[in-house]
Structure 1
Amino acid sequence: MTRTINDNGAWCWFQDERALTDPGTGTLVVGSVAAPEGPGGEARAGTIELAVVDLATGGSVVVPLHERLEADDHDAPALWRRRDGRWLAVYAKHKTDDLTRWRISDTDDPRGPWGPERTYDWSERTGGAGVTYANLHELDGRLYCFARAVNDDQCALVSDDDGETWAYAGKLFTRPKVGYVNGYTRYASRPGSPDRIDVVTTDHHPRDFDNSIYHGYLADGALRRSDGSVLDPDPLHGEGLSQEGLTTVVAAGSVHGGVPVTHCWTTDVRRAADGTVAMVVTARHDTPDDPADAFERFRDVTDHRFLYARLAPGGEWEVHHLALAGPGLLPHEQDYTGLAAIDPEDLDSLYVSTPVDPRDGAGLAHHEIFHGRTADGGATWAWTAVTEDSAVDNLRPIVAPGDPENRPLLWFRGEMTASQHYRCEVVLHGA
């Protein structure tokens, strides 16, 4: 069964967690941003919202956190469950101001009320160039909020009071900027084991640079490569080092599934209880010539691939072709795809959004959701359709963490023409 839990919403994929479950109350919380094309129109456009779902009854309510902040899916909130049971939501505009914003619920009920919005102003460090994203992870008893900020590099704020107040920690990486911004980074950590944060990142934006994918992790006071060797003995206390010094997982131009892949992008990453790390990477297979007409360049990237990479403790990265991801989702963003999500408690299980059926390679009228399962570490996959014959696209799935016994599957469906313009609804499947 699939049901709508918010009739107007979407999210980007570089903030986490975008959805969380509370096993104690059976509550699911999902953050998203409303668009002008959806219900509510301009009066609701850009509102940062939470869909709060009672998983036992199926009832849901939509809670606005900030009305009409900015109509852009990059502004979706990151969520955190505090030690006192209250909820923290952190969000930022898409590089159009220098504020990281946050609110904390008054009680353990995410339906509200919520305390006032507070802000951290980055402008002294960014020079007014803006900040984007929020990613909340605990490390050694401190809560970190990773954002793209100074020089458009990955930076972090730190809190020693569970998100009540924030201070600047430093830059995680630094390098000369190429094109729009620097690396696109995803993070993974596990509740109950706050001694490590895994990091996967690119060089720059894939339209500006032929990206590789790099992995490392923060632990024992250092930024480490996949094998545990130290890249930066004192991370987040200054300018940081280049991400090129981390372990290369997928090199630009390397061959996977019998074809070379280029312009890689981070899609999802999770770490299992036994220490195994898995990620999904999106990459181009066809990279056309660079004509004068930029639109032609964007439009002609028609063959994206999903790759699955896995690292067992003490082992080496193994990378496998996962599925075809089809053409670029938007005409002006040649590297956007429907994306994929790994089950946070079962790295052998994941979901992809694609207009190409992974069972037989048949083209589909819209992006559909498929469930994949592997029994050999990702070398081969068995596929099951979650959606079929849809009238609209089904995009950007999430498997919500928080309750190991109940991991709801979410996505949004509808028509999307830009990160700022979409008529999509957030749906919950099977819970």
Structure 2
Amino acid sequence: MHTKQTSSLKTSGFYSVLFTLLSVGCLHAAEPIVVKENGGWCWFQGKRAVGSDGKVFFTSISGDDHGDWNAGDLVVTELNLSSGETSHFCLHATLQRDDHAVAGLCLLADGRLLAVYGKHGNDHFQRSRITLRPGDISEWTQEQRFDAGAGYTYSNVYRLPGEDDRIYNFHRGRGFNPNCNFSDDGGSTWKYGWRLMQRTSADLSDDPRYTGMDGRRPYVCYASNGRDEIHFIATDDHPRAYDNSLYHGYYKAGNLLASDGTILAPPTAAGQPLKPRDFTEVFTGTAARVAWASDIEIDALGNPFIAFSVQVDGAAMRNRRGAGGMDHRDFYGRWDGSRWHVHEMAHAGTKLYSGEDDYTGLVALDPQDPNYVVISTNADPVSGMPLVSRTDGQRHWELFAGTTSDGGETWTWTALTKDSTQDQLRPVIPKTESDTRVILWTRGTLNSYTDYHLDIAALPVPR
């Protein structure tokens, strides 16, 4: 394990971008800069980036050998928002060349940082490390392994002060389904908790919405209110396996609840787990409208707001892997305390690569502003026309900022990147104490989840 400090050139680079942006006061005044060479991430881990005391911490996993990193290196980066200085710590060298193996980060009550991670189902281990001091990633505890009882994938780590600081880690594990482990001592030791929901082969039998390919696992994104609730959105299954709908529920005080607060069941290790469809349906899927979760956050009133993608062109080809995925739409949903309001936001473009018809550039919600999103798309958000760069004549994924003043019914779009020579993908907006929004994303080439050449870029945007 090693630390790596960046050069002064990168330090001054981020600061100069920030200064220019705030001085000129317009989005196009800033240019994105690389804050971490050689890094990628998946989107079913949380949080990939967190803010504290004027810093942003984020996690990434190297896709190949460049930028002084080796393929599969799992790294945490610290970005100082005042000085622009960045530093990096390798949590686990050559863990796995797979973006599913990226960590979930959680700030502890004393300001130290907990990182939880694992491989892409290749072993049973939930791995974790904790910084020795608040706000300093230069030294960590030794890696701890906890046997999750089945192949382990995805880490979603949330601390609930309302439960005496119990920490939950939701992951895919037993039964190839979402489960949780928990810690009552700040992440030092762990115990198995319970299965959040269940999907089995029997659920697919004789179901006309099953495509006959793959299946048997919901996909879940999580968010916490920072006190006593953990919210989630879930699909029925993998989108190539099933004509997915999308559901919302949450955990609170030992119970699983629907969106309106109706108690559905207490989660117990021995009990009969709920099905995804037992939670509140937010979007109804069909062969012509297949949903996949992108992001979820909680607003200042404690209400969830969400983003998800929908494949709209594959109805005639649902039983042929790789045949569809040329037309996706990004959707936005918001719970007002009594019902869900769901609207199509934008054209999300085509699939990222063959074999995964439902992989899109993704949407990042701003945890501090439900009226602001960043999307990655290779189509004009409004017209759907292909985005062809005037620089190299190729079609690329670009970033757009979207704002709404009517709860998501209509959106105004502003290009954050334009005429790129590489793809701008998978944005993330961490919660910070700053009046500047920091957008992070992966930039480069993504051929598959195990074959990518990406860097992590950043752009500061005033709130």
Fold match by TM threshold 0.5: yes
What is the distance in 2 between the residues matched to 1:237 and 1:163?
24
Check 1:274–1:39 CA distance in 2 against 1; reply closer, same or farther (3 A cut).
Answer: same
In structure 1, what residue type is equivalent to 2:372?
S
Cα offset for 1:27?
1.3
1:272 aligns with: 299
Alpha carbon RMSD of aligned pairs, Å? 1.8
The runs of 5 or more residues in structure 1 that have no matched partner are 254-259
> Contact 1:156/1:236 (CA < 8 Å) preserved in 2?
no
> Contact 2:193/2:268 (CA < 8 Å) preserved in 1?
no
> Contact 1:275/1:312 (CA < 8 Å) preserved in 2?
no
2:38 aligned with 1:8: yes
SS at match of 1:74: helix
2:314 aligned with 1:287: yes
User: Which residue among 39, 63, 79 is the counterpart of 1:35?
Assistant: 63
What is the distance in 2 between the residues matched to 1:235 and 1:162?
22
2:392 aligns with: none
1:158 aligns with: 182
SS at match of 2:138: coil
Check 1:404–1:46 CA distance in 2 against 1; reply closer, same or farther (3 A cut).
Answer: same
Check 1:234–1:39 CA distance in 2 against 1; reply closer, same or farther (3 A cut).
Answer: closer
1:310 aligns with: 334
1:70-109 Cα deviation digits (max 9, x unpaired): 0000111111111122111000100111100000111113
Structure 1 stretch 373-382 or stretch 221-230: which is displaced more? 221-230
Cα offset for 1:307?
0.8
1:262 aligns with: 289
Check 1:284–1:37 CA distance in 2 against 1; reply closer, same or farther (3 A cut).
Answer: farther
> Contact 1:157/1:166 (CA < 8 Å) preserved in 2?
yes
Cα offset for 1:143?
0.8
1:203 aligns with: 236
Cα offset for 1:209?
1.0
1:178-200 Cα deviation digits (max 9, x unpaired): 62441001111133xx1111111
Cα offset for 1:234?
3.9
> Contact 1:175/1:242 (CA < 8 Å) preserved in 2?
yes
2:233 aligned with 1:190: no
TM-score (norm 1): 0.91
Check 1:164–1:407 CA distance in 2 against 1; reply closer, same or farther (3 A cut).
Answer: farther
1:44 aligns with: 70
> Contact 1:135/1:145 (CA < 8 Å) preserved in 2?
yes
2:350 aligns with: 327
SS at match of 2:322: helix
Check 1:407–1:369 CA distance in 2 against 1; reply closer, same or farther (3 A cut).
Answer: same
1:344 aligns with: 367
> Contact 1:170/1:239 (CA < 8 Å) preserved in 2?
no
In structure 2, what residue type is equivalent to 1:243?
P
SS at match of 1:289: helix
> Contact 1:93/1:131 (CA < 8 Å) preserved in 2?
yes
In structure 2, what residue type is equivalent to 1:158?
F
2:25 aligns with: none
2:208 aligns with: none
2:430 aligned with 1:400: yes
SS at match of 1:102: strand
The runs of 5 or more residues in structure 2 that have no matched partner are 1-29, 205-213, 388-394
Instruction: Give identity over the alignment, percent.
Output: 35
1:100 aligns with: 126
1:69 aligns with: 95
Cα offset for 1:339?
0.1
2:386 aligns with: 363
1:86 aligns with: 112
Summarize the alignment of residues 114-133 of structure 1 with structure 2, pairs less than 5 Å apart.
114-122=140-148, 125-126=149-150, 130-133=151-154
1:148 aligns with: 172
In structure 1, what residue type is equivalent to 2:61?
V
User: Which residue among 156, 164, 176 is the counterpart of 1:135?
Assistant: 156
1:254-304 Cα deviation digits (max 9, x unpaired): xxxxxx852211100111111222111111101153488x5xx41432111
In structure 1, what residue type is equivalent to 2:313?
D
What is the distance in 1 between the residues matched to 2:282 and 2:434?
28
1:214 aligns with: 247
Cα offset for 1:353?
0.2
What is the distance in 1 between the residues matched to 2:57 and 2:403?
26
What is the distance in 1 between the residues matched to 2:255 and 2:77?
37
In structure 2, what residue type is equivalent to 1:134?
S
1:121-169 Cα deviation digits (max 9, x unpaired): 12xx32xxx1101101133231100000001111000110111111000
> Contact 1:172/1:236 (CA < 8 Å) preserved in 2?
no
What is the distance in 1 between the residues matched to 2:266 and 2:112?
34
What is the distance in 1 between the residues matched to 2:268 and 2:329?
33
2:50 aligns with: 20
> Contact 2:240/2:318 (CA < 8 Å) preserved in 1?
no
1:256 aligns with: none
What is the distance in 2 between the residues matched to 1:103 and 1:233?
30
User: Which residue among 169, 182, 204 is the counterpart of 2:193?
Assistant: 169
Structure 1 stretch 81-90 or stretch 12-21: which is displaced more? 81-90
What is the distance in 1 between the residues matched to 2:281 and 2:193?
26
Check 1:75–1:291 CA distance in 2 against 1; reply closer, same or farther (3 A cut).
Answer: closer
What is the distance in 1 between the residues matched to 2:437 and 2:106?
16
User: Which residue among 242, 249, 264 is the counterpart of 2:282?
Assistant: 249
Structure 1 stretch 144-153 or stretch 101-110: which is displaced more? 101-110
> Contact 1:272/1:346 (CA < 8 Å) preserved in 2?
yes
In structure 2, what residue type is equivalent to 1:208?
A
Structure 1 stretch 400-409 or stretch 337-346: which is displaced more? 400-409
